[in-house]
Structure formats: C-alpha cells, structure tokens
Amino acid sequence: MAELFKYYLWGFVIALLLLGTFILFLSILFSNKQIKNKKERAELQSQFSQTLLQSQLEIQDQTLQHISHELHDNIGQIASLIKINLNTIQLENVGKAQQKIEDTKELIRQLITDLKGLSVRLNSDRITQFGLIKTLQAEADRINKTGAFSANFASNGADPTLAPEKSIILYRMIQEIINNIIKHSEAKHIDIKLNAAENLFTLVFTDDGIGFNVEEKLTNGGAGLLNLQNRAKLINAQLTIQSTPESGSVFTIEMPS
C-alpha cells in the first residue's frame, strides 16, 4: 500500500513539474509575442509618421510648383491685361473708356477668383478642411484647366469623415494616381467616382489610356505602384489596380470611414 502511494506521489510530482514547465513555456511564448507585437506596432507607427511627413512635403512641393505655374502663366497674364487696359483708356471717348473699364473690372474679378483658388491650394490638409468631395472636384477642375484632358467627377453618398493624418496620406495617393495618369497613360479622358456608404467609401479612377502590365510593373520595381500599396496599408485601405496594355487603367481605393 505504501509502495503504491509512493508511486502515486511521484506521478503527482512529475505531473506538477510538467504542468509548471508547460505554464512557464506558455508564459515565455506569450511574453515574446507581446514584445514582438509591441516592436511591430512601434515600427508601424514610425513608418506611418515618416510616410505622413513625406506626404506633407510632397504635397507642399507639388502645390508650390503648381502655384508657380499659375502665377507665371495665368495670374501674371491677367495682371498684364489689366495694366494694358488701364494704360490705353481714352478718356476723351466716353463710350470706349466705359467699355475698357468694364473689361478691366471683369479681369479684376477673375484675378480675385484665381487668387482665392491659389490660397485654397496652399493648404496641404484640404481634405480635412473642405472634405473629400470638394477636393476631388478641385482635382477634376485642375485637370480640365490644362486643356489636354477631359475629367469628370461624380459622387454618391455623404462626404466621408477622415482622421486628419489619414486624409493627408489619402490625398497624396489621389495626387499620385492622377499624376501617373497624366504623365504616363496618354489618356484623353479621366473619370473619378466616389461611392460612400455608412462605414465604407470607394474611390475609382478610370482612364482611356494605353494601359500597362500591372504584374510586370510590380515585379520590375514599379516604385510608384509599390509606394501606393504601402501607403494604402498604412491607412487601412485596399488598393486595387486593373490594367492591360491598350485597355486603359482602373485604380480603386476602398477605405473605412
């Protein structure tokens, strides 16, 4: 009987040791997992911060370039016409002088409108300030103003609400997609559509350009496309790129709001 009790006791001790070892193993595994997750979150936050800063700088640089072109090609030209009109007013001819003054007033109104538009473009966080719908309409207007493309924007649903940090990265993605279409697609028409539901919105950019092989671009180091994909992951968005040679392209961004 005593011998049997001894065996039971040793079995119980061994079981306790095994259980303790298993619990210790699980604790170490859980602790390592926590450390790994914490490190990954820190790396992701650091990457997000770097991408946010890079996006802000890129937006500012592109905005300044656009403003420089506007000042030189548009506002400067309007100001020159105003100066010419004022210098050529013939006061002795009341009818012609009145017409010149009216023409000058119209040019001044146009100049004020263009200056207001430039002041809006100085804001890199325009999605936060003006909303996604107005921002996309402004981008379509900008494309149409070039005269080289026909752009159409359509929206369905309410304006999505976005966190300021995410909206800046999203806006840079929008700019990057549009600029890629303008520079490389040889398209004539660009469609931009926004479909907004309660907790999700979808952005679709379609062009009628020459298209490209998506897999080939990604495999051969298409930095622009990879950059878009990385930025989409950081803001919890799904980016889909559909394109084939001679068939145009479709860029789709799905994102929770």
Tens digits of per-residue pLDDT, 179-229?
A: 889 888 999 999 999 999 888 999 999 999 999 988 888 877 667 788 888
Is there a single domain that holds both residue 84 and residue 153? no
d(CA 57, CA 172): 10
Instruction: Give residue 255's pLDDT.
Output: 92
Is there a single domain that holds both residue 147 and residue 91? no
Q: What is the CATH number of the domain that holds 223?
A: 3.30.565.10
Instruction: Give residue 188's pLDDT.
Output: 93
Query: pLDDT tens digit string along 15-69?
Result: 777 777 777 777 776 766 777 666 666 666 667 677 776 676 676 666 666 666 6
First-residue to last-residue Cα distance in the chain: 72
Alpha carbon 257 to chain centroid, angstroms: 14
- 155 falls in which pLDDT band (50, 70, 90)? very high
Sheet containing 249-256: which strands, arranged edge to edge? 150-156, 189-196, 200-207, 249-256, 238-243
- 141 falls in which pLDDT band (50, 70, 90)? confident
Is there a single domain that holds both residue 135 and residue 257? yes
Tell the burial category of 92 from Cβ atoms under 10 Å away from its Cβ (0-12, 13-18, 19+). exposed
Is there a single domain that holds both residue 6 and residue 106? yes
Is there a single domain that holds both residue 74 and residue 169? no
d(CA 235, CA 52): 10
d(CA 182, CA 190): 9
Q: Smallest Cα–Cα separation from 136: which of 113, 159, 118?
A: 159
Please give the mean pLDDT across all residues of the chain: 80
Q: Are 138 and 172 in contact (CB under 8 A)?
A: no
Mean predicted confidence (pLDDT) in 102-123: 74
Count of Cβ atoms closer than 10 Å to residue 69 Cβ:
10
Is there a single domain that holds both residue 24 and residue 91? yes
Is there a single domain that holds both residue 137 and residue 168? yes
Q: Are 127 and 170 in contact (CB under 8 A)?
A: yes
DSSP 159: P
Is there a single domain that holds both residue 239 and residue 147? yes
Residue where a domain terminates, one of 124, 155, 190: 124
Is there a single domain that holds both residue 10 and residue 112? yes
Is there a single domain that holds both residue 118 and residue 201? no
Phi/psi at 88 (5° precision): -110, 10
Residue where a domain terminates, one of 77, 99, 124: 124
By residue range, what is the domain housing residue 104? 1-124
Count of Cβ atoms closer than 10 Å to residue 185 Cβ:
19
Query: pLDDT tens digit string along 1-12?
Result: 556 556 666 666
Is there a single domain that holds both residue 11 and residue 87? yes
Residue where a domain terminates, one of 103, 124, 145: 124
Instruction: Give residue 187's pLDDT.
Output: 92
Q: Smallest Cα–Cα separation from 101: which of 85, 112, 80, 113?
A: 85
Is there a single domain that holds both residue 222 and residue 161? yes
Domain count, the chain: 2
